[in-house]
Amino acid sequence: MAKFMQPNRPVGIVGYGAYVPRYRLVSQEVSELWTDGNAVSPVREKSVPGLDEDVATMSIEAARNAMRRAVRSSARDESSLAANLGAVWVGSESHPYAVKPTSTIVAEAIGATPYTQAADWQFACKAGTEAMQAAIGFVGSGMTEYALAVGMDAAQGRPGDALEYTAGAGGAAYLLGPAEEALAVIDGSISFVSDTPDFWRRQYEKYPEHAGRFTGEPAYFHHISSATVGLLEAMQLKPADFAFAVFHQPNLKFPLSAGQQLGFHKDQLWPGILVNDIGNTYAGSSMIGLTAVLDQARPGDRILLTSFGSGAGSDSFCLTVTERVVEARKDPNVMTTADYVRRRTQIDYAQYTRLKGNYRLN
């Protein structure tokens, strides 16, 4: 029996924000270099961070966007939101430091210090939704008024490895708070995990290892569908009850086939699929899919979000959009997900190598 989760007091998303760096590497470049063009990439192109960007700086921009939208949604000013923010949590597998939290840097930058919880989360690609589950509990128990959950990555793939085609950069931030101020209410959620060795990175290793095709059926598909089916059954809902469904997207094929196997139509899936344009943003992947959907959702729309993280597990959420979403989207200085996707500077493999820090100056 699936363990369905709901907080004591209703919780929702009060603000949300996306971030994608401006550089793009077309995957054909990777294929030409390593396989003479023989390999077909699972995505068209991927985003690449600038020399002065990392998970901390990208999380800061996404968090600022979330705070600005929350100002509109809650009708409170930014300093009052920051003062009542009781948790700043960043989920990633590419934190800039091995020891020293990213979350305190983000908390400082958005003015939430010093009286706040701050922590870095780790669970491969579901580190961000893991933080979201905990944030729902933190707000839903009344321990704090608001909690910020970020999923962000600047993913690494070994040169020439399959991951190099897709390992992108970007993610999203969510400010969770009381449902009365929310632009989307969390109706319920589920977490589903097992010890599945599909992907890992040992301490001090720069690049991850993966179990090749084993990453598909027993890992991605099994966890995504188990979590999603468990949630739908617990809530007595069916795919047709949703306006949108967002799944973790390591490539273009997987979220589409997982979604369709579960009974969702392509029209419910497409709006949240960004992987072809920005690559796999790991902990940011499903979370930025959700920002793209919230950018266009209408009040009353029901949204399904299911993440996947290697190792392995899935978090599945059911959300209902409220009329506050209209006001939340009105700040003209906050870039939409589509704005970030369109902000695009194409680079070649040599420039990519420089941005990734693979050329040594000394």
Which residues are known to be catalytic?
93, 125, 248
d(CA 302, CA 103): 31
Per DSSP bridges, beta strands 184-193 and 11-19 are: antiparallel
**Could you tell me the end-to-end alpha-carbon distance of the chain, in angstroms, rounded to an integer?**
58
Closest distance of CB 210 from another protein, Å: 6
Q: Which is nearer to another protein, 180 or 339 (CB)?
A: 339
Find residue 138's DSSP bridge partners: none
39 binds another protein (CB under 8 A): yes
191 binds another protein (CB under 8 A): no
216 binds another protein (CB under 8 A): yes
Q: Which is nearer to another protein, 152 or 163 (CB)?
A: 163
Closest distance of CB 179 from another protein, Å: 29
Q: Which is nearer to another protein, 4 or 221 (CB)?
A: 221
Closest distance of CB 308 from another protein, Å: 8
222 binds another protein (CB under 8 A): no
Beta strands in 183-312 (DSSP E): 184-193, 199-200, 209-210, 244-247, 302-306
Secondary structure (H, E, C), 244-268: EEEECCCCCHHHHHHHHHCCCCHHH
Closest distance of CB 322 from another protein, Å: 26
CA angle, residues 128, 357, 173, in degrees to nearest 5: 20
Closest distance of CB 162 from another protein, Å: 4
d(CA 35, CA 202): 27
357 binds another protein (CB under 8 A): yes
How far is C-alpha 44 from the geometric centre of its chain's CA atoms? 20
Residues 275-314 that bind another protein (CB under 8 A): 280, 282, 308, 310
101 binds another protein (CB under 8 A): no
d(CA 197, CA 208): 12
d(CA 55, CA 59): 6
Which residues sit at the interface with another protein, rule CB under 8 A? 22, 26-28, 31, 37-42, 44-45, 50-54, 56-57, 60-61, 79, 96-97, 105, 108-111, 124-125, 162-163, 165-166, 198-199, 210, 212-213, 215-216, 219-220, 250-251, 253-254, 280, 282, 308, 310, 333, 335, 339, 342-346, 357, 361
